[in-house]
Chain A
Amino acid sequence: MKPMSAEIRPMKTAAEQTLARTFASAKDRLPGTGAIEARRASAFHRFEEAGLPHRRVEAWKYTDLRALMREAKPLAPLPDAAALARAKEAGQALAAIGARRIVFVDGSFAPELSDLADLEPGLRIASLAAALAQGVPEIVARLSGTGLADGDQAYGLNTSFMGDGAVIEVDPGHTIARPVHLVFIYAGDQASAVFPRSLVLVGEASHLTLIESHEGPDALDYQINTAIDLSVGDEATLDHLKIAVEGRQALHVSTVTATVGKNAFFRDFALTAGGAVVRNQIFLRCMGAGTNIDLRGASLLSGTQHADTTLVLDHAVAGSKSRELFKSVLDGSSRSVFQGKIIVRPDAQKTDARMMTQALLLSETAEADAKPELEIFADDVQCGHGATTGALDDKLRFYLMARGIPAKEAEALLIEAFVGEVIDGIVHEGAREAVRALMASKLEARGQV
């Protein structure tokens, strides 16, 4: 007998109904016309058919967005003077890096807070909303074509509502030494929804370090659905760091898509230390032989925080190497989810893929779920995965305390040591030290509670 449940479309939730009303009223004033308008419409049509992802959608099994997203907030208005003033201090935790700051306030590019002076040769940075409004052909073509994550409802929602974001292009053969830092801050005084979308094209044999940070107030239950499409050319290197320290009540859904060319390096690091519900998804495809992929993540969670990392890594051609290392530290009743799917297609011989996820549980009520999946269709490959879950080692804690180190400080040292392995992989020294310092300050705050 045919299963019935697949055919039945339950009644729309309040959030889904609000999203439909919002799209109907906003679609004419969202940036872009023609192909972009059509792309938004088809993406929203697909979203309406499927609705918010829920636990029976395998990729969202542990993060039931239909249940977690009770209501959909209205789109954020343009930031007013007060919001811009509040945004001035954004991204300061990473100031020591000395990166070029490009600031987005409530999803809108804020040129007065950004540094676009003296762009290095070969580097171009623009506002996505401006590029779409002007109908820049290459950008329109990129964003109206099919994407790696088109089947995903959250990415589809972003495509439907995409507002502003950065368009960064590095011409072939350029090494941009100074990192570019996209600073996203929620500074509104009402809770609303923001859909940033960015596009990064790193040309052949070029090198870029791109940092993204997300932050906002603890008092508002704002909603961020952010997406970034990365294209790493042949022989190029892209280091992408995402530091998400959202407010305590925020919903943060993030999609990274990346296509990586022949002999290219793509390194991605994500730190999650805020937000009520966070979903980090990465869809990646190795397009050419000999790519090197290094994906890392660390989550520091407490209270009732929920953070989900979901990877889909597609080895389409031969001879690529990928490494994934994700660690979470869970206090209170927090929950971490890791889903990592590695696909090795029939032609992707000599693929070398290794995935590891580790959770450190600091309380009896925390929960870590890990679901590695390997889909291997080639016969000459090396693929491995591992998952561990454990508590702090009492013997180590006692040893540190026996030397005079108080309990919370001893625990902080051990937690830092646990997460340190992930941070060690950040290649840019300034960024690595800034992330380490940020993490230490988060752990210190834990000690004071």
Chain B
Amino acid sequence: MSLLEIKNLEVEIDGKRILNGLNLTLEKGRVHAIMGPNGSGKSTLAYVLAGKSDYDVTGGEILFDGENVLEMAPDERAAKGLFLAFQYPVEIPGVTTMTFLRAAINAQRKKRGEAELSSPDVLKRVREEAAKLGIDPEMLRRPVNVGFSGGEKKRAETLQMSLLEPRLCVLDETDSGLDIDALKVVADGVNRLRSPERSMLVITHYQRLLDYIVPDVVHVFSKGRIVRTGSKELALELEANGYAGYLEEAA
């Protein structure tokens, strides 16, 4: 059985159609990239997978490990192992990063019927993973993402992903706002998480990220659906020729 199956998905926001009969199947252990021009619906797909309520799903279905996720609240989806690395992680004043991580880890464990981790255990795990990502322990005492640079925010997202050990990672424009050094650190973090049990959906506008996170399959997105699917070489072709041809094809 596939880990993720999206069938004929139709999504609107404020009456405007964004996803237009999207079909996508992702097997366990595979990394798929979704590339496409701005406004093609890539981020909408990421948000709909995570369960953001601003969108109306008007048709189709999303099966995660055979279960219909459209009926689940965002926290239930997360506990099932679905993780969205946000393009723009929000700042949460007054909630320290450590408090937030402990709450997230234990909420998921509780929902899965596992024992909650003690504060010292959480602290130990967070410190280990943070060190691998070059995150200053001082950052963990600061409120979530408050005053973090673009690079720090993306590292923090990667840290959350490592700690929560999801089965499906959806990376929404993880490369945006990163310089090349930060991009390498984040990509290394993501690559460490690649495993036969874990799948990834890497959403990006540019081919650059895919030099570091090398996908098994590349999809080209236009006007709310996939218009072409190919190997990783497809990304290089897009980089050379741009999206112009696909915009016409989808029209």
Seen from chain A, the residues whose Cβ lies within 8 Å of a Cβ on chain B are 393-396, 398-407, 409-410, 413-414, 416-418, 420-421
Contacts and interface: CB of A to CB of B under 8 A. Distances in A.
Contacts of A403: 75, 78, 100, 104, 107-108, 160, 164
Given A399-B92, A404-B107, 18 more contacts: A394-B53, A396-B92, A399-B89, A399-B90, A401-B74, A401-B78, A402-B75, A402-B83, A403-B100, A403-B107, A404-B104, A404-B164, A405-B75, A405-B107, A413-B95, A414-B95, A417-B93, A417-B94
A414 B99 CA distance: 12
B103 interface: yes
B73 interface: yes
A398 B92 CA distance: 12
Given A398-B52, A404-B108, A416 B75 contact: no
Contacts of A417: 92-95, 143
Contact of B100 (A394, A395, A400, A418): A400
Interface string B130-162: 000000000000010000000000000000100
B50 interface: yes
A404 B53 contact: no
B92 A402 contact: no
Interface in B150-198: 160, 164
Contacts of A396: 90, 92
A91 B33 CA distance: 59
Interface string B45-56: 000001111000
Interface of B: 50-53, 73-75, 77-79, 83-84, 86, 89-90, 92-95, 99-100, 103-104, 107-108, 111, 143, 160, 164
A398 B103 contact: no
Given A398-B52, A401-B78, A406 B107 contact: yes
Nearest to B109: A404
A404 B79 contact: yes
Contacts of A399: 86, 89-90, 92
Contact of A407 (B75, B103, B164): B75
B62 to A, nearest CB: 15
Nearest to B89: A399
Contacts of B103: 400, 405, 409, 413
26 contacts: A395-B90, A398-B50, A398-B52, A399-B92, A401-B73, A401-B74, A402-B51, A402-B84, A402-B86, A403-B75, A403-B107, A403-B164, A404-B78, A404-B79, A404-B108, A404-B164, A405-B103, A406-B107, A406-B111, A409-B107, A413-B100, A416-B94, A417-B143, A418-B94, A420-B94, A421-B94
Nearest to B79: A404
Contacts of A416: 94-95
Contact of A401 (B51, B95, B99, B100): B51
A401 B75 contact: yes
Contacts of A393: 90
A404 B77 CA distance: 7
A399 B94 CA distance: 15
Contacts of A420: 94
Nearest to A412: B103
A31 B79 CA distance: 64
A136 B92 CA distance: 55
A87 to B, nearest CB: 35
A426 to B, nearest CB: 15
Rank and list the top 3 A-B pairs by shortest CB-CB distance, nearest first.
A417-B94, A404-B78, A404-B108
A91 B47 CA distance: 47
Give the residue among B86, B107, B111, B164 with the most A Cβ atoms within 10 A. B107
Contacts of A409: 103, 107
B105 to A, nearest CB: 8
A146 B41 CA distance: 72
B111 A404 contact: yes
Given A398-B53, A402-B50, A402-B51, A407 B90 contact: no
A420 B99 CA distance: 13
Give the residue among B53, B73, B104 with the most A Cβ atoms within 10 A. B104
A393 B144 CA distance: 15
Nearest to B96: A417
A402 B89 contact: no
Nearest to B144: A399
Contacts of A406: 73, 75, 107, 111
Give the residue among A398, A399, A406, A407 with the most B Cβ atoms within 10 A. A399
A255 B250 CA distance: 71
B155 to A, nearest CB: 16
Contacts of A404: 75, 78-79, 104, 107-108, 111, 164
B74 to A, nearest CB: 4
A394 to B, nearest CB: 8
A418 B83 CA distance: 27
A417 B83 CA distance: 24
Contacts of B78: 401-404
Contacts of B75: 401-407, 410
A219 B107 CA distance: 35
B70 to A, nearest CB: 15
Given A404-B164, A407-B73, A414 B92 contact: yes
Contacts of A418: 94
Nearest to A421: B94
Nearest to B166: A404
Contacts of B77: 402
Contact of B74 (A395, A398, A414, A421): A398
Give the residue among A395, A398, A421 with the most B Cβ atoms within 10 A. A398
A230 B75 CA distance: 50
Contacts of B51: 398, 401-402
Give the residue among A393, A395, A418 with the most B Cβ atoms within 10 A. A395
A403 B165 CA distance: 11
B94 to A, nearest CB: 3
